[in-house]
Chain A
Amino acid sequence: MIDIAIIGGGPAGQAAAQQTLAAGLSTTMIDEQARPGGQILRQPPATFAVKGWMNGRLYRPLRRLLAQTEADTRLDWRGETSVAGIERIDTHFRLTLSGAHGGTLLARRVLIAAGCYDMPVAMPGWPLPGVMSAGAVQTLLKSQQVVAGQPIVLLGSHPLLLVLATQLLDAGADIAAVLMPQTYGQIARAALPYLAGAIFSPGPLIAAGAAMARLRRAGVPMMMGARPLGFTGDGRLEAVDYTWRGQTHRIAAQAAAVSYGFLPQSDLPRQIGAAVRWARPAGGWETVCDGAMRSSIPGLYVAGETTGVAGADAAMAEGEIAGITMARDAGAAAGSGIARAQARRARMQPFIDLLRAVADPGDVWPQATPETLLCRCEDISVAQVEATMARLSPMADASAVKHRCRIGMGLCQGRSCEHALVRRIAAARGCDPDAVAPFRVRFPARPLPVDEIID
């Protein structure tokens, strides 16, 4: 039995591990990637020599933390491993692991710092090869030094697209266009209430401004207020359709990077029954916690995007808070910086609120047609889902719809479509998505080879 299991090797998990290791607690970190870093510092394979990797100023504190984590020999690192199950047994936890370090792991305390993932957005043509999430395009760049395809169109409401565009420029990619559905005026109006507070963490704002200027200088067509209509192509992406200034346009592209926001990873908290709530603005479920990062389940802690998507700096602060709290709760010699980390985290909130307001896809969702697939695993269209909903009572929950039309019954178990279904049910009822009972999350959190279970 170990003291601390940390699920996720990103900034939150690393910051927490620093604290628990310093307190002398045995700490195991589990991550699906081969090396720590999380998505924000998705590392190339150890055999790659990449000059100037992730050299930006904003990445420096993250890189420092990563270097410390990788150098810390006390940490039990288990890469290329998924956590398929989590249960509470008496006062400890049992994790079912799959992959390079498969088997079970018993831990007195568990931190879920599992990050977030790109929100899949159903619009016409979205299953075509070449249409990717912005995160996937970025991961290919960061970890494999590969441009997903070109010319590439970036589209969506999330300002991450600006960062991605500069990274693509650095890689020499041919960017056909950046299409954002908000106008500058809408962005300014959304940002205004938060600007005063956000100047306390000006770094990201300055970086966003610099990115805009850089894209302009490079001649990248930036179309604000452009509404993507969908993707077309014969067997793979060939063009992106959109409306801009009252006219419909088609632009040729081999790749598209889509970003309307991010969903917190919620499989494990929900599987074990921790309290969650609908995340805003993009959706999904964030795990509820107190100011010391304790979830509703004694011994289970959460930090980073699992608690609501707020970026890597917030994740680092929350990880530090969680690490100190775990050490305290374990009766170990805990670090003294918890108030400082909490204050640091609090100072970031205005900027996080600003970013959420600016990125909010609420009024600018792309429209799906009846033929658009909502569930890509089981090929369930919008029309099938709507017909099923129409046959049921408006009070029917997400599982009732799923059982009748198979939406969410495939390999991903709803990770990609559940948020969209819940939003549709909420819209039909005229209620908040938080009031709609989502799917019941079950074991395993990832498809688990039968072989691994029985041997």
Chain B
Amino acid sequence: MTHEVLIIGGGLLGCAAAWHLARAGLTPRLIEARGINAGASGQNAGSLHFQIERRFLEPGGTGHAQGGDIVRLNRLAIEEWAGLEDQLGRPLDIHMHGGLMLAENEADLALLSLKVARENELGLPTQLLSGAEARDLVPRLASHICGAAWLAKEGHANPRILADAFADAARASGATIETQSRLLDLRRVGDDWQATIEQSGQITTASARHVILASGHWTARIAACMGLNIPLYLAPLMMSVTDRTAPFLPYLIQHVGKRLSMKQTDDGNMVIGGGWASAPQRMVDGLPDLDAPPHLVPDNLRANLTVAAGVLPCLRARSLIRSWTGMTCISADQLPIVGEVPAAPGLYVAAGGSMFTLGPLLARMLARSIIERAMPDEIALFSAARFAHLNAFVVQP
């Protein structure tokens, strides 16, 4: 039997794409090597961050030109998140009460005002707040915080339950979702893709018109096995959570000059991250072990908590109950890679950064590009075609 679409990976992207495809009547089949949401989709810190990063500010850089596209996507992502609970028909702990990007000194503040001006020019309604105004919103902010960029629709969601909601909705719309099903081989046979799949010791094959590699940090490795170069690199990260405390922080907190994301969950715990690295475990040949949880780097934990307690001194009175690690990946130019791979027609990828915040939107776009056989303009920036040159010399097995 030939499937219209085979999806490799049961994370946020794969499950959401399965849902959109199933609703369009394409009855996709999704296979997942472990369990639903077992990878980065369930391990990230759940930030919904829509303010643009500082690399999109530098005048003259390529990032500057891309800023407009990023802002347009972020605005679409805001709409996407705002409608998710209704569309999926269940509570998802989505909180979009606003986010503050903080400045601790004059240099930070200068950067922030540049950023706010640029964002406003691009149509993102960020506001520059004084330190006092920021403290009106969060009275426990440190007294030296001298300003903040405020965006009303930022916030956070619960990464532990979102992929399940998509998976359930996908199943209800006719998708097949199989866990503990590992892809062993994927190759082109005629006009179709043929996958070899192992499930509880049984090996089967399946063919599909379209294949989506929604495999997170595994994407580049799977592509490499197929003879394809997709420039995605490991980004092993760490996150931390404290004990519970009475609600006081309904907003997402970020820092314009330092790595920090911080929020308070529904249950009262403080979740702290911001892109601090952990260390992958190594196999005997020295290559990183993609299946093993990365090791915590104590110096990075200390640095992360120092930044956090620097802007929110009351954290010093809390206790850390868990630091965990997870593996994601970034692309060669730090923009996600989403869409069909030119050297492998019918093969789609979606990976490479901001995959929680942008995930629901990108999954919809990816599904659309299969259903309509054309890539939506909104994600042209993320097209895999920009790296087509890397596959100029490959021979697919």
Contacts and interface: CB of A to CB of B under 8 A. Distances in A.
Contacts of B180: 393, 395
B161 A392 contact: no
Contacts of B324: 440, 442
Interface string A414-455: 000000000000000000000000001011100111110110
B35 A392 contact: yes
Given A85-B298, A396-B35, A443-B322, 6 more contacts: A400-B37, A403-B42, A442-B323, A442-B325, A447-B320, A451-B316
B354 interface: no
A204 interface: no
A96 B319 contact: no
A28 interface: no
A442 B164 contact: no
Q: Size range of the interface on B?
A: 20 to 34
Nearest to B292: A273
Nearest to A451: B316
Interface string B163-188: 01000000000000001100000000
A442 B239 CA distance: 11
Contact of A450 (B37, B296, B318): B318
B264 to A, nearest CB: 14
B320 A450 contact: yes
A393 B31 CA distance: 13
B38 A400 contact: yes
Given A403-B42, A447-B321, A453 B295 contact: no
6 contacts: A392-B35, A393-B35, A395-B180, A440-B324, A450-B242, A450-B319
Interface string A358-394: 0000000000000000000010000000000001110
Contact of B321 (A96, A413, A440, A451): A413
Interface residues of A, number: 31
B209 interface: no
Interface in A283-301: none
Given A395-B179, A403-B37, A450-B309, A442 B296 contact: yes
Given A392-B35, A413-B321, A453 B296 contact: no
B139 to A, nearest CB: 19
Interface of A: 85, 87, 94, 96, 104, 378, 391-393, 395-397, 400, 403-404, 406, 409-411, 413, 440, 442-444, 447-451, 453-454
A388 to B, nearest CB: 10
Greatest chain B CB density within 10 A among A392, A396, A413, A454 is at A454
A453 B305 contact: yes
B295 A447 contact: no
Contacts of A404: 160-161, 164
A406 B268 CA distance: 13
Contacts of A392: 35
B243 interface: yes
A151 to B, nearest CB: 36
B305 to A, nearest CB: 5
Contacts of B35: 392-393, 395-397, 400
Given A404-B160, A406-B267, A444-B320, A450 B301 contact: no
- Which A-B residue pairs are the 9 nearest by beta carbons? A447-B319, A403-B160, A451-B316, A454-B306, A448-B320, A400-B35, A393-B179, A454-B305, A443-B323
Interface in B122-163: 160-161
